[in-house]
Amino acid sequence: MSLKVKDYMTRDVITVFPNSTVGDVIRLIERTGHDGFPVVDSKRRVVGYVSSRDLLRKNSDTRIGEIMSTQLYVAREYMDLRDAARVMFRTGHSKLPVVDGDGKLLGIITNADVIRSQIERADPKKVEKLKKTIEKVHRVNVFVSRGIVNVERLIPTQTKIFADELKGRMYELKKGLAEPIIVIRKGGRLFLVDGHHRAVAAKRVGVKKLEAYILDVPDKIELGIERLVKKKGIKSVDDVEVIEDVPHPLVEITFRNTSR
């Protein structure tokens, strides 16, 4: 299953109008921290793009329509994410507006989204590998489906997560960018297998439901994760410890390697 632009683009995009002023956009940059914005007309059709570089040495009352870039590279939501990445890499653009057939703005895709798509991604291959492992070890049939699960019902199988990673997952959830988690459904219980940072982040930002790959396992078998849960006394995502003063292991390893 190929990743599409629509799966990773940000849909809630801050825009400006051609009659907005340089002063308006400078204040918007100060407020949001963004370095540029799509320029749209009254029908939300993309007519240009303005970056912080375009604002240099311009009077604050100059209209954006006079200085915006009008030769744009855009993406379509059904594009393969790799194709959008190639366009950004080859043209030197860090982000592309996503438009429909009429040129109306649907979202924006950035190089950070492309990177994010390769980190902790619960793709079908990971799900299929877990499915085959359970079937081989326990000699049962496991059925896989996609669905929505209640965060409150999740039983974690991991006792600790990292604060720096959690912060990134909270940001993604607020932007509507959460990846599916992986759960095992057994006897009415939902064991969280993959996506602990996402689940805890959801609880913290008030997201009550998450999309998930669901593996249905017969209740007659006992999984190793069940013994772990019993031993650790884990009952909900509230029982997962957030490690505040230690960076994610990958960050620590990178730091040590580059400081030699």
- Indicate the residue among 116, 150, 172 that finishes a domain: 116
Q: What are phi and psi of 49, to 5 degrees?
A: -145, 140
Residues spanned by the domain of 129: 124-255
Same domain, 128 and 221: yes
pLDDT of residue 230: 87
- Of 61, 63, 57, 87, the closest CA to residue 75 belongs to 87
For residues 191 and 225, is the Cβ–Cβ distance under 8 A?
yes
Same domain, 155 and 229: yes
Same domain, 89 and 129: no
H-type helices in 206-248, by residue range? 224-232
pLDDT of residue 1: 55
Q: Give CB contacts under 8 A, 24+ apart, made by 241-250.
A: 241/159, 241/160, 241/161, 242/160, 242/161, 242/162, 242/163, 242/166, 242/200, 243/160, 243/161, 243/162, 243/163, 244/163, 246/162, 247/162, 247/164, 248/162, 248/164, 248/165
- What is the SS3 assignment for 109? strand
Give the CATH number, domain containing residue 197.
Answer: 3.90.1530.10
Instruction: Give 64-76 as a 3 state SS string.
Output: HHHHCECCCCCEC
pLDDT of 201 > 90? The answer is yes
Instruction: Identify the band that residue 122 occupies on the pLDDT scale cut at 50, 70 and 90.
Output: low
In the numeric block, the tokens 């870039």 are attached to: 69
With 0-12 CB in 10 A as exposed, 13-18 as middle and 19+ as buried, what is 159? Answer: middle
Of 57-61, 186-190, 229-233, 246-250, the one with minimum mean pLDDT is 246-250
The highest-confidence range among 134-143, 220-229, 250-259, by mean pLDDT, is 134-143
260 domain-assigned: no
24 domain-assigned: yes
Instruction: State the Cα–Cα distance between residues 64 and 1, nearest whole angstrom.
Output: 41
Higher pLDDT, 2 or 150: 150
Same domain, 39 and 72: yes
Give the percent of the chain with pLDDT over 70: 90
Same domain, 77 and 146: no
Tens-digit pLDDT profile for residues 69-118: 998 999 999 999 989 999 998 888 889 999 999 999 999 999 878 877 76
Same domain, 232 and 208: yes
Structural domain tally of the chain? 2
- Indicate the residue among 116, 144, 177 that finishes a domain: 116
Give the CA-trace dihedral at 203, 31, 107, 3, to 10 degrees. Answer: -50
Tens-digit pLDDT profile for residues 234-244: 999 999 999 88
Neighbours of 21 (CB within 10 A): 16
Same domain, 141 and 108: no
Same domain, 75 and 108: yes
Instruction: State the Cα–Cα distance between residues 89 and 96, nearest whole angstrom.
Output: 11
Tens-digit pLDDT profile for residues 158-179: 988 888 788 888 887 887 766 7
pLDDT of residue 254: 47
Tens-digit pLDDT profile for residues 129-160: 899 999 999 999 999 999 999 999 999 999 88
Same domain, 163 and 246: yes
Instruction: State the Cα–Cα distance between residues 28 and 16, nearest whole angstrom.
Output: 9
Same domain, 16 and 97: yes
Instruction: Identify the band that residue 257 occupies on the pLDDT scale cut at 50, 70 and 90.
Output: very low
Give the CATH number, domain containing residue 61.
Answer: 3.10.580.10
In the numeric block, the tokens 């303005």 are attached to: 50
Same domain, 89 and 175: no
Same domain, 64 and 38: yes
- Indicate the residue among 61, 87, 116 that finishes a domain: 116
